[in-house]
Amino acid sequence: MALFESLSGKLQDIMRKIRGKGRVSEADVKEMMREVRMAMLEADVSFKVVKDFVGKVTERATGAEVLEGLTSGQQVIKVVHEELVALLGGETERLTFSPSSPTVYVLAGLQGSGKTTMAAKLANHLRKQGKNPMMAACDVYRPAAIKQLQVLGAQLGVPVHESGTDARPADIAVAAVAKAKSLGHDVLIVDTAGRLHVDDALMGELSEIKAAVRPQETLLVIDSMTGQDAVGVASEFNGKVGIDGLILTKLDSDTRGGAALSVRHATGRPIKFAGVGEKLSDMEPFHPERMAERILGMGDVLTLIEKAQEAFDERKAIDLANSIRSMTFTLDDFLEQMQQVKKMGSMSQILGMLPGMSGKALAQVDAEGSEKGMARFEAMIKSMTRKERLEPGIINAGRRRRIAEGSGHSVQEVNRLLKSFDDMKRQMKAMMDMTRKGKMGKVRMPF
């Protein structure tokens, strides 16, 4: 599923209609903004946010000088893009660290927002940055929350401090800080209790924890699926407890986008992270410009590159490049590449970061079962002999039948695998040749 699939699809359709116009009249802008207003309201963006956004774009788009090299239509899209970036927060704002260890982060939020899982995801993210995190279980009302944090901590190899359900949450947090300091942990992530609704008891408990441990940042975890309700929750937490940043969970399932486009505007606090899947690695720093580009169908090549750098083994990448140069690219290499790509996330997530990929196209990818297709290819390659994987040219009709039977697939699917392998081999060879000759062009933004 694409991020903000419904909103993104509608905005892309609107932008497509105006992009090709050489001249855009004031009436054209007003008609476009009427459609944008409807699309954003249907996406559960708050009315005030929509009103402000439409007003700013209309003011800038009617009477703005057209930049050299752009048509009037492209100029309008440029304005929409810039205002969307501003709406999402403008500059990327990262976590801050205290000058003395441990840096303490308190996670707050309603029950069911995903705080406990997000505590583990944050620990995993910081560990990749070279930090040595520890977590504290301060949700004493839900024993399952303590057990869940312990299980997640064990998966990551990150220790969890807990004192059972009889201790006061503020006392647990204070003890956790002392323990983290004595054991040499430079980060402590405090998982707090939630309620089904904001109430005085919850706010009082959070205030006690904050006063006791003086966190570097208090991060509010918001379920992006709650739309406009998220705005009210974020405003109450910010007003009564004070927050320093927001973390949006389930953003990969949010087809509308109302929460992401509203909470930053309502609270004045930056969105720092977004949960984009169920795995502990499925959390991304929130980049307003990149997110705006995804919504408008411009892709997110930088995040794609970062994911690739995390997923791909450098030594294996060098070996692959040598294989392509020497024309010895084998089915073993092909299998290795598929396994590396799978580490980056689902195929629809990866393709969603490429410019020009619409929600309809991504829906088609899911409909065709691309994840299952990769699994089928893997099964067929593993059914081949060592010699067949190294020398695909020897795979004749008889061998294809044996591979099909051994992997539980049809001969046609084996043929499809071998064709995909040949196509990839040819494309990668062409890319290497272009890179060597310096003919790879620059990526163009579709303004």
CATH assignment of the domain containing 77: 1.20.120.140
Res. 234 pLDDT band, cuts 50 70 90 = confident
- Put the strands of the sheet holding 160-161 in their side by side order: 160-161, 133-137, 187-191, 103-108, 217-223, 245-249, 271-275, 283-285
| Domain termination residue (choose one: 88, 119, 140) | 88
CATH number at residue 108: 3.40.50.300
User: Does residue 367 register a pLDDT over 60?
Assistant: no
Residues 312 and 433 in one domain: yes
Whether 112 is in a domain gets the answer yes
Are β-strands 283-285 and 271-275 bridged in parallel, bridged antiparallel, or unpaired? Answer: antiparallel
Name the residue range of residue 38's domain: 5-88
36 membership: H or E segment, kind and range: helix 26-42
Residues 114 and 151 in one domain: yes
Whether 284 is in a domain gets the answer yes
Whether 93 is in a domain gets the answer no
CATH number at residue 350: 1.10.260.30
| C-beta separation of 242 from 269 below 8 A | no
Mean pLDDT, rounded, of the chain = 78
Query: What does the block give as tokens for 337?
Result: 């590449």
| C-beta separation of 163 from 175 below 8 A | yes
Residues 290 and 347 in one domain: no
Mean pLDDT confidence for 126-136: 93
Of residues 206 and 294, more confidently modeled: 206
Whether 95 is in a domain gets the answer no
- Collapsed DSSP state (helix, strand, coil) of residue 53: helix
Residues 128 and 32 in one domain: no
122-161 per-residue burial string, b: 16 or more CB within 10 A, e: under 16? bbbbbeeeebbbbbbbbbbeeeebbebbeebbeebebbbb
Whether 253 is in a domain gets the answer yes
Q: What share of the chain is helix, strand, coil (3-state, %, to 5)?
A: 60, 10, 30
Of residues 199 and 283, more confidently modeled: 283
Beta strands in 269-324 (DSSP E): 271-275, 283-285
| Domain termination residue (choose one: 238, 267, 295) | 295
Residues 69 and 107 in one domain: no
Write out pLDDT tens, residues 287-330.
888 888 777 766 544 555 555 555 555 565 556 556 555 556 78
| Domain termination residue (choose one: 243, 261, 295) | 295
Q: How far apart, in Å, are the Cα atoms of 123 and each of 116, 161, 282?
A: 11, 14, 12
221 membership: H or E segment, kind and range: strand 217-223
User: Does residue 63 register a pLDDT over 80?
Assistant: no
In the chain, the number of structural domains is 3
Mean pLDDT confidence for 101-124: 91
Write out pLDDT tens, residues 91-112.
888 999 999 989 999 999 888 8
Residues 174 and 236 in one domain: yes
pTM confidence score: 0.66
Q: Which of 22-36, 149-163, 179-193 has the lowest mean pLDDT?
A: 22-36
Looking at mean pLDDT, say which of 1-10, 56-65, 199-208 comes out highest.
199-208
Whether 97 is in a domain gets the answer no
